[in-house]
């Protein structure tokens, strides 16, 4: 470490502490009685330490149902979207067809459109076509994200040579067989990175479920925790306990797919 780099390291340490502080505060507050959460002076370690917040959340609130709803919707949306993005990215990367450049530019341009802009039109279309069932409609916005298609297209262009595909065609393989047996295995790092990103997008989604879901029995986890926050008693203790539990699937997914995530992101960065 040189003296010239000390300010940079100090800045990075402060940045790290700044990002970590809310998580530490939430974890600490989840083990405190409600009256101690905003106590002064603030205490990092809970005193007294209690598990009542978690016990109340799991026994007196439908937390398990919210958690299951969010997890199932996010898992289905992730599997479908990863397959669709890989298929679309493969088509854009390796096939020639009429209107390809125009279609790709339109798809790429859609990255600049905030989701809030298409929220109302999407809701009206689903309702008018009779497809407004929450289980289906909660998944629809995440099925074919433009970012995922673009990511797959770039990865395929940089990582899969045309000669490999031509050799498979000469050997008599079908186009879908080439996609399934050659392209998908080579895309594994990118699929892992996209899967983590897509799962978190759907799992943490709040605005779309807020507009779509009116029945409390179909609330997702962000909607359910929001009902605790806006209640008359402002149940911060339960919200913090729920937030800590809500983070666990994302942490588990990152641990399981950490290798694919880092490899997928670094490969694109190096070759780009």
pLDDT digits (tens, 9 = 90+) for 185-224: 999 888 988 998 899 999 999 999 998 888 888 899 999 9
Backbone angles phi, psi at 129, to 5 degrees: -90, 5
Nearest to 242 by CA among 11, 6, 116, 60: 60
Burial 151-171 (b: 16+ CB within 10 A, else e): bbbbbbeebbeeeebeebeee
Q: Is residue 20 part of a domain?
A: no
Cα–Cα distance, 140 to 200 (Å, whole number): 15
Q: Is residue 30 part of a domain?
A: no
pTM over 0.85: no
Cα–Cα distance, 44 to 41 (Å, whole number): 10
Domain housing 207: 63-270
Q: Is residue 191 part of a domain?
A: yes
The whole-number pLDDT of residue 145 equals 92
pLDDT digits (tens, 9 = 90+) for 236-252: 889 999 999 999 988 88
HSE-CB for 88 with a 13 A CA cutoff:
19
Q: Is residue 164 part of a domain?
A: yes
Q: Is residue 205 part of a domain?
A: yes
Residues in the chain where the model's pLDDT stays below 50: 269-272
Q: Could you tell me the CATH number of the domain that includes residue 245? A: 1.10.3720.10
The whole-number pLDDT of residue 232 equals 67
Cα–Cα distance, 148 to 156 (Å, whole number): 12
Q: Is residue 203 part of a domain?
A: yes
Q: Is residue 8 part of a domain?
A: no
Q: Is residue 155 part of a domain?
A: yes
Q: How many domains does the chain have?
A: 1
């Amino acid at each position: 470490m040189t003296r010239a780099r000390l300010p940079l390291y100090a800045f990075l340490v402060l940045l790290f502490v700044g990002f970590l502080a809310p998580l530490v505060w939430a974890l600490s507050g989840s083990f405190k009685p409600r009256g101690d959460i905003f106590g002064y002076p603030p205490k990092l370690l809970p005193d007294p330490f209690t598990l009542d917040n978690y016990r109340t959340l799991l026994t007196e609130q439908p937390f398990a149902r919210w958690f299951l709803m969010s997890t199932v919707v996010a898992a289905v949306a992730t599997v479908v979207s990863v397959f669709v993005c890989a298929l679309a990215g493969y088509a854009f990367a390796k096939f020639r067809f009429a209107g390809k450049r125009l279609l790709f530019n339109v798809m790429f341009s859609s990255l600049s459109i905030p989701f809030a802009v298409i929220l109302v039109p999407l809701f009206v279309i689903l309702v008018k076509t009779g497809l407004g069932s929450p289980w289906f409609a909660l998944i629809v916005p995440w099925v074919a994200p433009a970012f995922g298609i673009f990511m797959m297209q770039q990865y395929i262009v940089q990582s899969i040579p045309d000669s490999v595909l031509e050799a498979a065609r000469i050997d008599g393989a079908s186009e879908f067989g080439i996609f399934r047996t050659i392209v998908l295995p080579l895309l594994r790092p990118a699929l892992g990175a996209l899967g983590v990103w897509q799962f978190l997008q759907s799992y943490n989604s709040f605005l779309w479920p807020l507009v779509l879901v009116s029945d409390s029995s179909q609330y997702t986890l962000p909607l359910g925790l929001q009902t605790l926050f806006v209640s008359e008693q402002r149940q911060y203790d339960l919200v913090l306990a729920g937030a800590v539990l809500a983070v666990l699937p994302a942490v588990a997914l990152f641990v399981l797919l950490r290798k694919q995530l880092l490899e997928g992101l670094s490969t694109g960065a190096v070759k780009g």
